[in-house]
Structure 1
Amino acid sequence: MRSLVVAALLFITTIASAQIVNPVKWSYAAKRISKTEAVVLFKATIDNGWHLYSQHIADGGPVATKFEFAPSKAFTTVGKTSEPKPITKFEKVFNMNVSYFEKAVIFQQKVKLAANQAVVKGKLEYMVCNDRQCLPPDEVDFSIAVK
C-alpha cells in the first residue's frame, strides 16, 4: 500500500512540474560607449500569445517591470532604465489601458564606470499575461560583466 501512495505522489509531482509555464526568456549584454560609460541591455524574448508589461503602469493595473541595481563602487546608474514605445490597449481584466510588449523587447540602462571593468548586478521583476491568464509576478537576478 505504501508503495502505491509513493507512486501516486511521484506521478502528481511529475504532472505538476510539467505544467510550469515560463513564457519569458531573459538575456543580457553590455556595450561600452566610452572609457567611463556603458549601456547594459536586458532582452526579454516573449512566447507567442503572451505579453510583458511596461515599466510604466498606473496603480490598479498589472505589476510593472522593475529593475533594481545592487549598490557597487564599480558603477553608478545614469538616469532611468529606458524602453522602446510599448503597445497600449484597454484590458478588461484590469479595467484600464495598459502598456506592454510582445515577442521581444530590449530595456537599456546607462552606467558610469569607476573602474576599467565592472559587474552590474541586481534583480528585475516582471509580470506576463495572455488572453486567458496572468502569471504571478516573477523575480530574476542578473549579473552582467562590463569589459
Structure 2
Amino acid sequence: MKKITFLFCALCLIKLSAYSQILKPVTWSYAAKRTSPTTATVFIKAAVDQGWHLYSQFVKDGGPVKTTFTFPSSAAYTLVGTTTEPKAITKYESTFKMDVSYFEKSVVFQQKIKLKGKTAAVKGSVEFMVCDDKQCLPPEQVDFSIPVK
C-alpha cells in the first residue's frame, strides 16, 4: 500500500511540474490616445522575455506565423489604414531557411481609428508566434479591448 501511495504522489508531482513549466514569454499591454476630437491611435505593446523574439506582421509564406491583428467591424469606430510597426530586425534563420523579421525585448504596434462617437472600445485579437534559439512555441491568440475616452 505504501508503494502505491508513493507512486501516486510521484505521478502527481510530475504532472504538477509539467503544468508549472508553461512558457509565456510575451506580455501584452494596451493604451489609446486621442489625436483630435474624432481620431485616436491605439497602442498595442508586446514585452518579450530575454532570449525570445516575436515575429513581424510582414513574414513571407513558408516562415514562422506572422503577427496578425484582427479588428471586427464596429459601430463606434472605423480603422484608418493598417496596423503599423517599427523597423524590425531581419536575419536569416536556418530553422525556416529564409530571412525573417522579428522584435526582441519590446515592440509597440499602432492602429489609427476614426471615432463615430465620443467614446469607443477598440476590440480585437492578436495572433503571434515566438521563438528562442532552441524552440518555437505554438501560435497563440490574445483578445483585447482598449477603451478610448
User: Same fold judged by TM-score > 0.5?
Assistant: yes
The range that moved more, 10-19 or 113-122, is 10-19
Correspondence 1:73 to 2:75: yes
Partner of 2:22: 20
**Identity of matched residues, %:** 59
Partner of 1:92: 94
CA deviation profile, 1:1-40 (whole Å, cap 9, x unmatched): 5655653442122111111111110000001000111000
3-state SS in 2 of match to 1:61: coil
Partner of 2:40: 38
Correspondence 1:105 to 2:110: no
Structure 1: runs of 5 or more not aligned: none
| Runs of 4+ that moved beyond 4 A | 1-6
> In structure 2, how many angstroms separate the alpha carbons of the residues matched to 1:111 and 1:119?
11
> In structure 1, how many angstroms separate the alpha carbons of the residues matched to 2:103 and 2:148?
27
3-state SS in 2 of match to 1:33: strand
Note the aligned Cα RMSD (angstroms): 1.2
> In structure 2, how many angstroms separate the alpha carbons of the residues matched to 1:79 and 1:6?
57
Partner of 2:138: 136
Structure 2: runs of 5 or more not aligned: none
TM-score normalised by L of structure 2: 0.94
CA deviation profile, 1:59-79 (whole Å, cap 9, x unmatched): 000000000012210011110
Alignment-mate amino acid for residue 130 of structure 2: V
Q: Trace 1:114-129 onto structure 2 (pairs within 5 A).
A: 114-129=116-131
Report the CA distance between 1:136 and its aligned residue. Answer: 0.5
TM-score normalised by L of structure 1: 0.95
Partner of 1:11: 13
